[in-house]
Structure 1
Amino acid sequence: MSDRSSRPHHSPNRTPTRTERRIIGVRVTRRWGPARIAYLLGLNVSTVHNVLRRYGIARLRWLDRATGRVVRRMESASCGDLVHVDVKKLGKIPAGGGWRMLGLAAGKRNKQADKSSGVQTKYHNPVRGYHFIHTAIDAHSRLAYSELLTDERKDTAADFWVRANAWFVTHGIDVRKVLTDNGSCYRSHAFRDALGDIEHRRTRPYRPQTNGKVERFHRTLADEWAYARLYTSDAERCEEYPRWLHTYNHHRGHTALGGQPPANRVPNLSGQYT
């Protein structure tokens, strides 16, 4: 009456070992999903999926596409251990709406008709101009501080960090390390002086995955705020950003935090239950 596995002793209809090796070989060398492997080898998609699962092959979303290695997830032990900082360039919306919501033809007409939002400097002369979204996000709690600024120069980045650090302090977070990419504004003396005693780390060149938490935040804001609905003017979208950011920090469930908002990971944070 002892327990034993219900697996059969013989499986005559099991996929041949040679076919399994071909499936695994294509997966390792080309890093394709089950559907593409099945089309290449003339197999059923479910058969390829079962073989990959049987041998414990990691999912593609767990892998670094460049190297094929399993991605290592960085998780800070407490708030302030590491803060990710980055900049996202975002085009302004012409009066009447942009091409993403109205289509290329209507968006182009609005763009040509609206010249008022263009900002001319000695560095660039855009038709409509851009916003530069500077963001600092705590690696442990995912609590984010972000601003819409006019450029990404060294003084702008340094002043942004001074305000961001003060904001984190008011929320009970003592920042000890900052991670940025190798942009010129982050390699400047102005940004170094703004950091003070805070340790500054930089990502490896051409490896934005290292700064993945802030990169993912920028993708989230693009999906849920910047291009979530039709804005008829740039000012309308800018006015919505502080409200969306508050929702992100205090009310929106985060998948990496078990469905809890970032504010729930910050001890004794004022206003986290409002």
Structure 2
Amino acid sequence: MAPADELTPDVDPAEFVELVAPAMRQAASIARALEGRVQNTPKEGEPTAVKQALTVADTATQEALLVPLAEHFPHVALEAEEDTETARMFPREGPVRVVCDPIDGTLHSYLRGEGPYGVLVGLERRGRYDAALVALPREGLFYDAVRGRGARACRAGGEPGAARFYELGTRVLVSHGMPEAVFEAVRAAGFDPLPACGGAVAVAPLVKGVRAGLRWGSAPEGISIRGRIGLLIAREAGLHVRALGLRDFPDDVSTFEPGLVVARDEADLDVLDAALALARP
């Protein structure tokens, strides 16, 4: 009998991006249209308010992503944030997995308006992402990448092109829950910290006016599997992607790392790493 991996059809990462990109735009439009019009209906059994946060927008956005996935890639395993009807159609385990977060930053960014929120989809094969898509609906920005083929970006209604660098800004996106000491250190370095969801932090230097991103993920998970989706885009765009201590951040989806620095300018790394270290318990 053939191994399970041989029985599961593979997914071409470039084809995956092209087929999922229209669904990303629809999902972002749904999230944007419902922004400010939905209430938090907390999920039961989750340990924190952040994990509990759930809105109609989360489920509607996820369904917009999963319906075309079910049509084109019904055999892939799925790691989805919400327990929706379409999510139950996919296997939970397999050699090829799609990871989806329909609204990253539901509580702080989406409901409270504290910085950018995101829509995230990644294609994981052999323990690492080979394709990634990130949307920042409020900013009207869309990013995608295929491993080894570079990163692309576009605005709502536009056609994707090679991700570009803007003039270095002063903003630094900082993940929610960071201690005030981190914000103070960023300000002392001459930058302007802005709270943001993890997906936005991962692609921060690709946003006009934003210089870098900082994130801290608490144990036991550290930077989560969803929080790593945008890092493929960052790497393919040529950004610095570092763990605490300025080590290269792991390329896989599971190696534990609590700290993340994403920057365009190598000269910023030391001061950003010093600020991030203040988040350590």
Task: Name the TM-score, length of structure 2 as normaliser.
Answer: 0.22
| Greater RCO, CA 8 A, separation 6+ | 1
Larger helix fraction of residues: 1
> Larger radius of gyration, structure 1 or 2?
1
Q: Which has the higher strand share?
A: 2
TM-score by length of 1: 0.22
